[in-house]
Structure 1
Amino acid sequence: MFNTASSPTSSSSRASTGSPATVGDVISVMEAAYPPYLAESWDAVGLVCGDPTENVKHVAFALDCTDAVAERAIAENADMLIVHHPLLMRGVTTVAADTPKGRIVHRLIRHGVALFSAHTNADSARPGVNDCLAELLGVTPGEPLRPIEEALDKWGVTVPASDANSLKDAVFHAGAGTVGDYTEAAFEFDVTGQFRPTAAADPHIGSAGELERVEEIRVEFVAQRRVREKVRGALLKAHPYEEPAYDVVETHSGTADVGIGRVGELDTPMTLREFAERVSERLPHTVWGVRAAGDPESMIRRVAVSSGAGDSFLDKVAGMDVDCFVTSDLRHHPVDEHVRAGGCAVIDTAHWASEFPWCGQAADVVRRGMEERGHTVTTTVLDIQTDPWTIHSQGKN
């Protein structure tokens, strides 16, 4: 039985009255909770179809955008459908209405339903898909199984003293200068610059052909690498010179608290047999069910989870202090070799079952976010099972 208290299979709620929300408002809330920069490089997250300026009164949530899900969203009079798995990701060259994916896109557009996906960015975010899975199974969602390194740039720029404050304001507004719990962080010191403008130059200071020496300030700050071009644009716009002098050095601040998977303690130590039964009871029911590899009587105290397909982490968990790894879409040979090499126990769930509980979390994120902005919105988690497997036969004894 699926634990509806932790993540409802079908729920609907209305926020307090206020100004109409737009697709763009909902996107803003989703991207604040599940930042796009956390997505894997191969992923395709964000708005698939729809107009960001269109009003939204009703947002529906599902794991996949199948024909049945699209039809239900339309029937529920949803203005926006948010899913986990991107509809258009692999080898898409057409959305013609006579193709499976194109049929869905055309149907949604004709009925004014915007489509948005949050995939691996929602997997890595905190709280995200993996936190939801861990908590549902009674596992404290601790450190990520694969943390994302926090990539930083160290910037340095020289600027006339009279323009230093306005330049700092500009780059800080673009996202620079944040270090831990501190913002607008920078170093600065006095320097002397020199230059000789050519006849073609239009200098802010000095005259063509004349050597100019200027008392300036060098400002140094850090910024996340993902906002490099935004910071560069702000710097160039705010700097008074035609050709400002600046440098960027790549660095990093170690690993972040976000990333794929979670590792934590099980609330009550139990055998693998008991834990597999708990996983089966707490996740949504599927024909695929739940299967486990390892000694059924081994004790499980510390668990790693990775929602969706996670066999690429088998080598990693083999070298970790964990008693069990819970994931989906596992294959015969990798699991067999992992167990025979002395690796931890493994529990394999249906892909859909390990990720669907997130839909309830995402609905709560949008509902709260819209309330904070004074908007009126209804959220509904669609109770359509999109797991593709329909028959499971163990055969005769």
Structure 2
Amino acid sequence: MIIQEVIDFLEETTPLAYAEGFDNVGLLVGDTNNVVTGVLVTLDTLEEVVQEAIDKNCNLIISFHPIIFQGLKKLTGKTYVERAVMKAIKNDIAIYAIHTALDNSFQGVNARICDRLGLTNRQILMPQCHTIQRLLTYVPEKDADSLRQKLFEAGAGNIGNYSECSFNLKGIGTFKGNEQSHPTIGIPNKFHQENEVQIGVIFPKHLQKNILKALFLDHPYEEVAYEIYTLENQHQHIGLGMIGELPSPMQEKEFLSFVKENMQTSCIRHSALLGKPIQKVAVLGGSGAEAIEACLAKQCDAYITSDIKYHEFFKAENKILLADIGHYESEQFTKMLLWEQLKEKFTTFALYLADTNTNPINYL
């Protein structure tokens, strides 16, 4: 099995199309055609992690965070980033990062936090826009049912709990081919009218390649007329953060102790206690101060995240309990999530969870 096959699986379950625009995800180092000798799953790819991959005969590192975030102009070994990359290249080890693609997944980073806390009735905190596209195409009436079905099979027409959704209009299409044309219907140099159906279907943007492949393979015309639009609709299963509910309300101090134990963090920085029970909880792994307003708008009782700055705690406005549990601590279970997904799929090579602790923050 080659590295590309592992990448294909990862990107099928967690499409990179939904990573944030600022991010650097995907294959960062290495040759996708190399045969996999072993895979090491880690939160961060440091020089020590690359050495662990070497020791365990792994030539592919699946990392949550990208070791290369901004452009590298030099590789001299002067920084921890350069040293990790140079060591990987010298030992023919590929590095793949998934980061905010997994942050935005409904079964990703925030779902794992919800699992740890037993939160139910989950929904995305900040649904992502511009993730849904619409295809319009025009096909002879007699071919409409067949083409529509092929588009459905390619992944089009799914809306929430419904599948095979489309909108269809009947009309008259016209065309005239030149001397080099080979029309399926009609003859060259002669004006032709055909009873056609306009088929409209929506699909998640990461499936555009599959949808167009089905369109071109199954459309009867030599020249296929089609249009693709990006819609403003939010995708309710793609986006940052997640909201869920505790099985029963907790008092604030009880809740903070519960979070501290289940998220395995040694301390929690939090906003003022308000004397209100906690049941509706928002979570966002990693830096999440940007979502405080969204938590307030959705009337959450508490918000668990990390990297909240001093002045950002004021945004609680005495309406919500903000809990900063630490960046590493909020994402530490992510590598187990990735490992479990890979373990279920692949059995032909060794698959390891990194032993190296990459948390750069220590507490006294």
Does residue 354 of structure 1 match 2:334?
A: no
Partner amino acid, structure 1, of 2:351: T
User: Relative contact order: is structure 1 or structure 2 higher (C-alpha 8 Å, sep ≥ 6)?
Assistant: 1
Partner of 2:177: 197
Structure 1 contact 130–262 (Cα < 8 Å) conserved: yes
Does residue 364 of structure 1 match 2:336?
A: no
Does residue 32 of structure 1 match 2:4?
A: no
Offset, 1:179: 4.6
Partner of 1:105: 85
Does residue 156 of structure 1 match 2:136?
A: yes
Partner of 1:10: none
One of 262, 265, 272 as aligned partner of 1:294: 272
> TM-score by structure 1 length?
0.79
Partner amino acid, structure 1, of 2:358: T
Matches of 1:183 and 1:264 in 2, distance apart? 26
C-alpha change, 1:124 and 1:290, in structure 2 (3 Å) is same
Structure 1 contact 302–323 (Cα < 8 Å) conserved: yes
Query: Equivalences for 1:162-241 in 2 at 5 Å?
Result: 167-168=147-148, 171-172=151-152, 174-180=154-160, 191-198=171-178, 201=181, 203-228=183-208, 230-232=210-212, 234-236=214-216, 238-239=218-219, 241=221
Partner of 2:66: 86
C-alpha change, 1:96 and 1:145, in structure 2 (3 Å) is same
Partner amino acid, structure 1, of 2:38: H
Matches of 1:45 and 1:312 in 2, distance apart? 21
One of 24, 28, 48 as aligned partner of 1:44: 24
Does residue 282 of structure 1 match 2:259?
A: no
- Range moving further from structure 2, 312-321 or 143-152: 143-152
One of 263, 285, 298 as aligned partner of 1:320: 298
Partner of 2:356: 384
Matches of 1:173 and 1:216 in 2, distance apart? 22
Structure 2 contact 269–323 (Cα < 8 Å) conserved: yes
One of 343, 365, 376 as aligned partner of 2:319: 343
> TM-score by structure 2 length?
0.85
Offset, 1:25: 2.6
Structure 2 contact 54–91 (Cα < 8 Å) conserved: yes
Structure 1 contact 135–141 (Cα < 8 Å) conserved: no
Structure 1 contact 124–260 (Cα < 8 Å) conserved: yes
Offset, 1:183: 5.7
Offset, 1:76: 2.2
One of 211, 225, 242 as aligned partner of 1:262: 242
C-alpha change, 1:388 and 1:241, in structure 2 (3 Å) is same
- Range moving further from structure 2, 182-191 or 209-218: 182-191
C-alpha change, 1:239 and 1:72, in structure 2 (3 Å) is same
Partner of 2:95: 115
RMSD: 3.1
Matches of 1:191 and 1:151 in 2, distance apart? 30
Offset, 1:118: 1.4
One of 105, 127, 136 as aligned partner of 1:147: 127
Query: Which structure 2 residue ranges, 5 or more long, are not aligned?
Result: none
- Range moving further from structure 2, 203-212 or 300-309: 203-212
Offset, 1:57: 4.1
Structure 1 contact 123–130 (Cα < 8 Å) conserved: yes
Structure 2 contact 17–205 (Cα < 8 Å) conserved: no
Aligned residue pairs, count: 364
Offset, 1:52: 2.5
C-alpha change, 1:297 and 1:222, in structure 2 (3 Å) is closer
Matched residue of 1:368: which SS?
helix
Structure 2 contact 123–236 (Cα < 8 Å) conserved: no
Structure 1 contact 95–101 (Cα < 8 Å) conserved: no
